[in-house]
Structure 1
């Protein structure tokens, strides 16, 4: 992080443009599996599946165009740059612990590049929903760097026998001695450091390391269009205005108790930094009462445009964390940690890019509601409620074209709410949702349910408004490392409001590469063209 795939996307777009509709890809792998149609008919799949490839290629081509369009808008912001220049020299920046903010009593951290090790302040947040939260607290530290940095995380409690770092895809090698986990990072990433044998849900005292890239395009504190929060504690309260042309900057070492809201449409807004925004001051301690509290960042008017939220850590929100529904929104390298059932992670508007974020949430982590959205290179720790990826929650308008790729779910603590899954749709709205491509997604330490995809009447929707459909979903190269207690569900609500054209290609779960509905609860009366298939060599790419 940041990991660039634009050249690959451009190649894919070119290939898609050159191929006539319905043409088989000569270099594509042959597949074997089953197609399940409305009424119960089952047809073997043998060979290529060009109809699905056409949809995937079209979505991938749209991704390239949308990413470039968002970047062009972001470039017009006064402080909109987010990427360090190539060849940035080695550097390491740590941030002071704000006075009066207690350090974690579970962990201490040092980081080292040139010279001796230096401490990196470790924050802590305690669990809030005592009746269901399975953890006691979460600790985290944050620093920025380029080059290579050696990190040492020391656990206060005795008894550990080793350590590991998630996500697995980061390929971080650790050593363990004297209750200290040591590892070196050479690229930015959002990491979980876990001490054996306490590496399975629930991890009572998680420890997170946010290894940020160097800051770029830092605002001037004297710019009249900048609201600048320097290191230290700032108590500003709820209802803080977000206005067009404004930059809100939260420096590393700043701890802001505040919530920020736009009244009506806003344009050309930047919210960035390496500091912390806390919603603890709004927490009533009651689940129902917290639903009346504001979000941490709330831009609700969908005619807003050109929004950037970058680098900040949001903690202890009683309601949602980042809702930025403007067109051409970027949410980049943001970290969220929250405990209540009403604390969604993040959502952007139409034409949004959500990348390189860390979400630890007890409601839906990444909402995929408004079209032309890309979610890539994110790391998710899901608590007992919600879903890492939510496709619909009673959406009442048509929405299409979503590309979700190269993401890691490192934990999902589902255990008691039946309507739970890693990939979830609870669609009772009258909109038709279409063209979702999920690919190259890795799921660790999650055992409840992988897919829960339904059109379903529920208490949050008036059925008199009517129902829609969900179609053209593709899940390919999904690698789940564990076995699931519950079957995956694909189900519409009736014969005219179906889940249709739903595709599972090279999905690895329950210790096998799936090619039939054996581990699915699939309703033939409300679904059509559900395909489950794998490469003929029996492997699933990860």
Structure 2
């Protein structure tokens, strides 16, 4: 976020229906968009991926009229996810619509996805903490806090108020009962490429992350390694840098990502085991009970949308659920739904249910058992018992691959139930455009 001579002295403005947050003085404002929420100006941040603004409803009776003024002619407007059913009205260069729900949307003008407006409508905060008590890392509104790494221990809380920017990262190891919450921004712009992860959860349990926005990640954004009972809710990850995976679940159990927005250059979500790039402890633990649900995903130039792999150094990765998600853009040549089993794990019991794909440039389904540049195990693994159910893809034709390694390391037991591309239901491998090798028991319903 670049400096600009801009003086905003009041950190937040409350009005009927919503709370808008003013940015700290000196923060660059986006030049393309001006936004009003229920008649009040809402600051638009200038980010490498476009403009960004956010507000919170003041009560659970959610309703707010949105007005966007664009500094260029407006011919068309796409508001994604389209499943929200938002119908904008265009009057010259002014766009209006009503929100009556919490929402994480991309407003795209004249088909331009290089500079959209990202708008985040949050639920009201419930009893936000106050500064002062021991064990609370409190970052107040209306300020830029240049803090670098924040190390948290068991029982501690990190609060980033709406209208605050924290330049730094959050780290924990062997911690229990940690809470990270607020409406403000955790910003990684002070780091060099590969220097730090943004919220690093190592060998920890009972960790809740809620409400905040994380921008400009220079490495994996939220890696969860050898941990248990970790929840992300209403977290927004916005980045466009090398290696900036959104959420990486590594050798962990009981992880839930719910109602989050992830816009990254690399993988949006990746489930792995045995990765030790940044850690010195053993992360070759089995993975189970991972749920990614009700989230909005945008994968940029690299990586995959929803990924399992490539590093799969454990006995099993099972019980992974991708439920009710919107993949609004998958820009790169890789996969939208991908399993890349590069090591010994048996990957099984994976469900993709009620997911919608609006725009994807690569493979739709990309399952491979392989020896890759990331592989370390001598033995290859398995991919078994995978279900696709109620999948809707806007595009009419997209290639897919089911590729086992050999006759004893196969992709097996894959069910495609009510999967449609361009409104046409899949009925066979040929009909779906799937190239299959070393594959068995693939069925269509």
TM over 0.5: same fold?
yes
- Retained in 2: the 8 A contact 1:476–1:504? yes
Question: In structure 2, which of residues 234, 239, 243 is the aligned counterpart of residue 342 of structure 1?
Answer: 243
Question: In structure 1, which of residues 149, 152, 155 is the aligned counterpart of residue 70 of structure 2?
Answer: 155
Q: Could you tell me which residue of structure 2 aligns to residue 208 of structure 1? A: 118
Distance 1:258 1:421 in 2: 31
| CA drift at 1:120 | 0.5
Q: Any gaps of 5 or more consecutive residues in structure 2?
A: 1-14, 273-286
Deviations 1:328-379 (A, max 9, x none): 1110000011112300101353111110000001111122343101111100
Question: In structure 2, which of residues 24, 28, 44 is the aligned counterpart of residue 122 of structure 1?
Answer: 44
Q: Could you tell me which residue of structure 2 aligns to residue 427 of structure 1? A: 341
Structure with larger Rg: 1
Q: Any gaps of 5 or more consecutive residues in structure 1?
A: 1-88, 127-136, 284-289, 534-542
Q: Could you tell me which residue of structure 1 aligns to residue 177 of structure 2? A: 268
| Corresponding position: 1:492 with 2:404 | yes
Decide whether aligned partners of structure 1 residues 308 and 463 sit closer, same or farther in structure 2, where only a CA change above 3 A counts.
Answer: closer
**RMSD of equivalent CA atoms:** 1.6
Distance 1:432 1:229 in 2: 44
| CA drift at 1:484 | 4.1
- Retained in 2: the 8 A contact 1:163–1:175? no
- Retained in 2: the 8 A contact 1:490–1:520? no
Secondary structure, aligned partner of 1:169: helix
- Retained in 1: the 8 A contact 2:77–2:111? no
Q: Could you tell me which residue of structure 2 aligns to residue 282 of structure 1? A: 191
Q: Could you tell me which residue of structure 2 aligns to residue 457 of structure 1? A: 371
Deviations 1:84-103 (A, max 9, x none): xxxxx963111111111111
Distance 1:521 1:192 in 2: 31
Q: Could you tell me which residue of structure 1 aligns to residue 258 of structure 2? A: 355
Higher helix share: 1
| CA drift at 1:425 | 1.4
Distance 2:22 2:46 in 1: 14
| CA drift at 1:463 | 5.0
Distance 1:260 1:405 in 2: 28
Question: In structure 1, which of residues 288, 311, 330 is the aligned counterpart of residue 211 of structure 2?
Answer: 311
Secondary structure, aligned partner of 1:371: strand
Aligned residues: 408
- Retained in 1: the 8 A contact 2:220–2:248? no
| Corresponding position: 1:479 with 2:392 | yes
Distance 2:376 2:362 in 1: 29
| Corresponding position: 1:409 with 2:327 | yes
Q: Could you tell me which residue of structure 2 aligns to residue 257 of structure 1? A: 167
Deviations 1:15-44 (A, max 9, x none): xxxxxxxxxxxxxxxxxxxxxxxxxxxxxx
Deviations 1:446-475 (A, max 9, x none): 2432111111111111353x1111111101
Secondary structure, aligned partner of 1:224: coil
If the length of structure 2 is used for normalisation, what is the TM-score? Answer: 0.88
Distance 1:163 1:468 in 2: 46
Secondary structure, aligned partner of 2:335: coil
Q: Could you tell me which residue of structure 2 aligns to residue 364 of structure 1? A: 267
Distance 1:523 1:161 in 2: 43
Q: Could you tell me which residue of structure 1 aligns to residue 27 of structure 2? A: 101
Distance 2:213 2:342 in 1: 33
Q: Could you tell me which residue of structure 1 aligns to residue 433 of structure 2? A: 520
Deviations 1:418-462 (A, max 9, x none): xx1100111111111110111100110224321111111111113
Distance 2:114 2:309 in 1: 31
If the length of structure 1 is used for normalisation, what is the TM-score? Answer: 0.73
| CA drift at 1:511 | 4.6
- Retained in 1: the 8 A contact 2:17–2:64? no
- Retained in 2: the 8 A contact 1:341–1:386? no
